[in-house]
A = this chain, B = another copy of it.
């Protein structure tokens, strides 16, 4: 998808149409295994039930590690930080998440904060869809 000079890819376990929680179709352009993380400027991990599956995909975890190792921008919301727990990159990082997984990111060593958006260097996180405005605002700042 190309918008105002920004090219975005929706990646998942496999290419093709997937149905969102409210029945909308989303086109997955690329499978995690075909992603070269060097080609991307930011990694955005959304929430819902997806992260519990994404965290089991070894290619998704490699992509995630690349972004943290190279200190490239990462944004995660709701259940998204579950992927960061599995990639082993959240320890010692300031973060927030969906309250139902709060104790998991704390157990994994995150420095949890209950705020609409938490900024830790090139890593931003938010709690829920209610925080989307603040999440988007800080995500875009990372790209400037």
Contact = CB atoms under 8 A, between A and B. Distances in A.
Interface of A: 52-53, 55-56, 82, 85-86, 99-101, 103-104, 107-109
Contact of A104 (B53, B56, B82, B99): B82
A29 to B, nearest CB: 24
Contact of A107 (B52, B53, B107): B107
A96 to B, nearest CB: 15
Contacts of A103: 55, 82, 85-86, 108
Contacts of A99: 56
A108 B102 CA distance: 12
User: What 8 A-B pairs have minimum CB-CB distances, sorted nearest first?
Assistant: A52-B100, A107-B108, A104-B104, A86-B103, A107-B107, A85-B103, A85-B107, A85-B104
